[in-house]
Amino acid sequence: MTNSRFPANRTPEIGAFFQRDRNWHPPAFTPAYKTSVLRSPQRPLLSLDNTLSELTGPVFGHNILGELDNDLIHNFAGPGESAIGPRILVYGRLLDERGIGVAGALLEVWQANAGGRYRHKKETYFAPLDPNFGGCGRTITGEDGSYCFRTIQPGPYPWPNGPNDWRPAHIHFSIFGHGFAQRLITQMYFEGDPMIWRCPIVRTINDRRAIEGLTAALDMEATIPMDARAYKFDIVLRGRRSTLFENRIEGN
Amino acid sequence: MVQALGRLKESASQTAGPYVHIGLTPNFAGIAGVYERDLGTAMVNDKTRGERIWVNIRVIDGAGSPLKDALVEIWQADAAGIYNSPSDLRGSADPNFTGWGRLPTDMTTGECMFETIKPGRVPFFDGRKMAPHLTVWIVARGINIGLHTRMYFSDEETANAEDPVLMRIEQRERVSTLVAPRDGNIYKFDIHLQGINETVFFDI
């Protein structure tokens, strides 16, 4: 996490981030998603403009990455083996709200296997583990904010919320931007999945367009024939103000 | 009609869910051999400058139970008050201090314990110095969007009294929800998600 690992041709930006639209994001209290009832703050959030503590954030170097970190088909598999399931590429760009690519940003993903089973000690679903699938991956975005993972398409899985609730197929994404205020965790869904609109977690989001923004498009043009289909998923982080006309004290 | 602003919308947040460990702390989750070590588990080394401390964090729900499936990240300046980030243009941070840590809360006790150093003071945007603090960010099952708070230090009374952020808290009795008491070299920070002692969370 040093300046030398930052793309050399970019001057770090130091402007404050655009405020979050908390009508677009899910609210904390969403009783149809039962766990949120006791885990949601009831008092209003305290608002203030960004300080250095939020404008700055950790930056990770490529030295943390192993060769297979963005290949979930192989990164847990035995020699000569690979995970079972529909082979897919998940690719896209990490942008900010101004449409500018966010370079050098760490993306981390996790997911269930093709049968909807997570490799986790707290998971009790009886669909079997895949001995060649772990379910975690990570990558760092390129100069234009681009990224790519290779994985298998996860299956839907049941969860103890309502008596018969099933999650749509989804991949969890954790994203770092350039400032800690951009820190975001979200989920990616798949085009055409009829489970999306039935899911209490998806429906914590009140705006249909925001849900569509989390739904990856099938991309036959990026598909590798006879190998892996492709899904395109662009992620958007908070934009930031230009400091051109801001009369701020040195250091901010 | 007027010109379009041409802005995109931030991707909407979703809960990290109960299996956040698979992606963010796979070795803790029992998934060995993919990453050498879980990211964020080591913030300091033998050469790190500053006072070595431990920060014990629990996240407590509205029924008084500590969360056993939360993931906590902290972000802080080094001992001189510089952030190890390209966006901090004030100088070079301590190369032996990452400033960023990540730990899951224990599946039995609900505690996590960061080994770190006490941060220096960082200027507010008007130049006043903020009191030493850690940014704390929490995700978990049942939390739809990461919760952002700060931890201040109980033995920094003078600095806390003039901290521009703490001064913004209208109900003065709530300031104490952000101040962690010291016991030896350990600061214990209990974060209450809701109820009578609800921690102050920020929209920042």
CB atoms within 10 A of CB B161: 11
CB contact under 8 A, A38 and B63: yes
CB contact under 8 A, A53 and B12: no
Closest CB to A12: pick one of B9, B86, B124.
B86
Least confident segment among A10-19, A31-40, B160-169: A10-19
CB contact under 8 A, A58 and B87: no
Looking at residue A252, its pLDDT comes to 39
Q: Nearest chain B residue to A118 by CA: give it.
A: B19
B37/B26 Cα distance (integer angstroms): 9
- Amino acid letter at B191? I
Cα angle vertex A102, ends A97, A108, to 5°? Answer: 105
Tell me the average pLDDT across A73-89.
98
**Which tokens sit at A157?**
């899985």
Interface check for B172 against chain A (CB to CB < 8 A): the answer is no
- pLDDT over 50 (residue B180): yes
Looking at residue B115, its pLDDT comes to 98
Looking at residue A121, its pLDDT comes to 87
- Do residues B56 and B186 lie in contact, with contact meaning Cβ atoms separated by under 8 Å? yes
The one catalytic residue among A74, A119, A172, A183: A172
Looking at residue A12, its pLDDT comes to 85
Q: Which of B72, B106, B204 to probe by mutation at the A interface, max A CB count within 10 Å? A: B204
Tell me the average pLDDT across A143-170.
98
Looking at residue A122, its pLDDT comes to 87
Looking at residue B34, its pLDDT comes to 97
Interface check for B106 against chain A (CB to CB < 8 A): the answer is no
Q: What confidence tier does A242 reach under pLDDT thresholds 50, 70, 90?
A: confident
Clarify whether A170 is annotated catalytic.
Answer: yes
Closest CB to B144: pick one of A1, A30, A210.
A30
Q: Chain B: nearest CA to A148, how far in angstroms?
A: 16
- pLDDT over 80 (residue A8): no
Looking at residue A251, its pLDDT comes to 44
The per-residue pLDDT of chain B, averaged, comes to 97
- pLDDT over 70 (residue A248): no
Looking at residue A247, its pLDDT comes to 55
Looking at residue A13, its pLDDT comes to 87
CB contact under 8 A, B125 and A252: yes
- pLDDT over 60 (residue B114): yes
Tell me the average pLDDT across A221-234.
98
**pLDDT tens by residue, A113-153:** 999 999 998 888 999 999 999 999 999 999 999 999 999 99
Q: Which of B68, B85, B124 to probe by mutation at the A interface, max A CB count within 10 Å? A: B85
Q: What confidence tier does A221 reach under pLDDT thresholds 50, 70, 90?
A: very high
3-state secondary structure of B21: helix
The residues, ordered by sequence, that sit 6+ positions from A178 with a Cβ below 8 Å of its Cβ are A12, A13, A57, A59, A102, A105, B85, B86, B87
Give chain B positions within 8 Å (CB) of A13.
87
Give chain A positions within 8 Å (CB) of B90.
251
- pLDDT over 80 (residue A7): no
In chain B, % of residues over pLDDT 90: 99
- pLDDT over 60 (residue A249): no
B149/B78 Cα distance (integer angstroms): 19
